[in-house]
Structure 1
Amino acid sequence: MHSDNGEFKILEELGLEYEPVAIKYLTKPPKDIPALETKSALCEMLKKAQGGEVFYAGLENHTCEAGPYVLGLKEIEEQFISGEFGAGLGVFKDPRAASRLYHYTPRISPGVLNYVAFAPLGKVTFEPDILIILAEIPQAEIILRAMSYESGEMWMSRYSSAIGCAWLFAQPYLSGEINYFTTGFGFGMRRRKLFPEGRQFIAVPFDRLPGLLKTLREMPWVPRPFEADGLEFVKKLRISLGLDDE
């Protein structure tokens, strides 16, 4: 599934301010994608790709321990697991509260990947493992409604006060579920002032992407009750179903 075959074209109609970013997990360095020449946190790499850059990163490119940990590239130091660091930052009251974070934070198993490729959707040359979208509320509502349009599934956001990158890069990949959360809640991303607050991050795993794009092409983006004659439409519907009298 590549951008040049039109599969992703429907996303352009959303009018997103930030271009979606395709993520690919690799065991070997790609030959057709340049290596990242700088060092940064995983969330900062995402911001860089939103700005139009295409690159891949390895363990040596990470400056924040959270990224390599959730990607399974490296074990994390004892001071993090014990909760001393999280409590020291003031994210949690004490180490015992902070240590709970590591009991539920999703993490890709070591050995699954060694490198991560990033590309804005307009420049992607690979089939994404995850597509990360940053949307405003009206745009996010359309995407999430498309997620449940045929299945009727529950909308469920999963996030934590720290190690927010895990819920974009690991949880959707491991669960096969679309995940979303509001920017401005996560400690590290907020501290770095990377993304405008009050937007919705939506992470779509590879096995949900084709169906989501298909539904976006077929589903009415504006439901009839939201059109100009919406009140009259709902009134007639209720009468036709026997809920109200004429």
Structure 2
Amino acid sequence: MNNADIQKYGKELKDVLQISTSPVAVHLVRNDEEIPEDIPHIGETTRHCQMVDNVRRLGTAFYATLDDQMCKGGASVMGLTEMSPKLKSGEVYYNLNHFASLEAAKATMEKVPMVDANSIKAVLYAPLEETTFMPDVILVIAKPRIVMELSQALLQKNGGRVNAGFAGKQSVCADGVSYPYLTGEAGVTIGCSGSRKYTEIQDEEMIMSVPVDMLPALVESAKAMFGSYAC
């Protein structure tokens, strides 16, 4: 696939499934990679979930480094930095009264998907139908019906099941980016307290993430199942 292919797939996916906002292309820039010169720096400090939400609604494209990531928990699961001891131990969520014991909080945090710390130097974000870089992962924030159709299209050729492992924690970052990046599998997640507080993700929306390698077959199946798209 080249950029023209990916942009075409992004437009087709959005049109065929009538997704009201853009699927979001995300690429984790490894330390041995260069940040593309045509991608602007975000120029402000905000949260990863807000970045994804802004891209899908406003059509912006940019890169963000660790210093731009307001939520260091999100930054850490995507490999930009070490996770803080208090977050890793579960203490943060225990003190927020999200768990009955510190042990329960720690047991949950131990299962959060995490890219190796300090292996990533920046994250690229763009609407899928306009991206000029090769994404690792595509995030779709949409109503459950669309997530259902995406799931059906993913399974149309070879069958199987779609993962839906989540804890309502580290959702748009760990579940949405790190899980498919590490496993090569698509995933579904429901959002978390932070992403629902700081973004415009609606109560009736959820998140699906798909590794880019699955994109051609996904679009082909979606077109076959839910209506053809005239290029």
Number of aligned residue pairs: 219
What is the match of residue 18 of structure 2?
Answer: 15
1:195 and 2:196 matched: no
Identity of aligned residues (%): 26
- Which of residues 119, 131, 134 is equivalent to 2:126? 119
Contact 1:68–1:74 (CA<8 Å) still a contact in 2? Answer: yes
The gaps in structure 2 that reach 5 residues or longer are none
Q: Deviations over 1:95-125 (max 9, x none)?
A: 2211112211001113542111000123211
1:212 and 2:214 matched: no
- Which of residues 15, 18, 31 is equivalent to 2:37? 31
Alpha-carbon deviation of 1:126? 1.5
1:177 and 2:216 matched: no
1:78 and 2:85 matched: yes
- Cα-Cα RMSD: 1.8
Q: Deviations over 1:114-170 (max 9, x none)?
A: 111000123211121111111223322221111111111023312112211200010
SS of residue in 2 equivalent to 1:25 = strand
- Amino acid of the residue matched to residue 29 of structure 2? L
SS of residue in 2 equivalent to 1:104 = coil
The gaps in structure 1 that reach 5 residues or longer are 223-246
What is the match of residue 138 of structure 1?
Answer: 145
TM-score (norm 2): 0.87
What is the match of residue 103 of structure 1?
Answer: 110
Contact 1:55–1:118 (CA<8 Å) still a contact in 2? Answer: yes
Alpha-carbon deviation of 1:193? 4.6
What is the match of residue 243 of structure 1?
Answer: none
- Which of residues 221, 229, 236 is equivalent to 2:226? 221
Alpha-carbon deviation of 1:33? 0.3
SS of residue in 2 equivalent to 1:131 = strand
Alpha-carbon deviation of 1:2? 5.0
d(CA) in 2 for partners of 1:215, 1:122:
18
d(CA) in 1 for partners of 2:208, 2:42:
24
What is the match of residue 234 of structure 1?
Answer: none
d(CA) in 2 for partners of 1:135, 1:83:
30
* Alignment CA distance shift 1:158-1:138 (3 Å): same
